[in-house]
Amino acid sequence: MKEALEAEALELNPLGSDQSAAASLVVAHHARDKDDLADLLGALGLPCAEDDLVRLLPHLTNPDDTGETMTVNAFTATAASMLANGDSPEHVRSTLGLSEGELADAVKHADLPATTTV
């Protein structure tokens, strides 16, 4: 049977330059911007001098501009879907806990005629 090792008994070796460079690249691929990159590198104990940052800047992720920006929140979209599926406005409002204004937005988003009784 294997015995668990004590944390203090583990030998810690400093990262080699190849390991440090690879870790820095991974961090750069997940950073939002230069400041975020510097903070992440510093938190991980990786080199974060200006020269290190300049070398990693080309590896920052580019914002994904595919798709369309959401024009409504999830509650409005869910309510619009329920309304389009034939649920009554009162049922949608009570199920999702929407205000009258939020329900009106959902009706507008679903391209349904406005309701007069809610």
Output the six-digit token pair for 28: 């750069």
pLDDT of residue 2: 62
| Band of residue 64 on the pLDDT scale cut at 50, 70, 90 | low
pLDDT of residue 91: 94
| Band of residue 11 on the pLDDT scale cut at 50, 70, 90 | confident
Domain locations in the chain?
15-59, 74-109
At 40-60, the pLDDT tens digits run 999 999 999 999 999 999 998
Q: Could you give the CA distance from residue 87 to residue 106 in angstroms, rounded to a whole number?
A: 12
Amino acid at the residue 85? N
DSSP code for 8: G
Do residues 54 and 38 make contact, with C-beta atoms less than 8 angstroms apart? no
pLDDT of residue 114: 63
DSSP code for 58: G
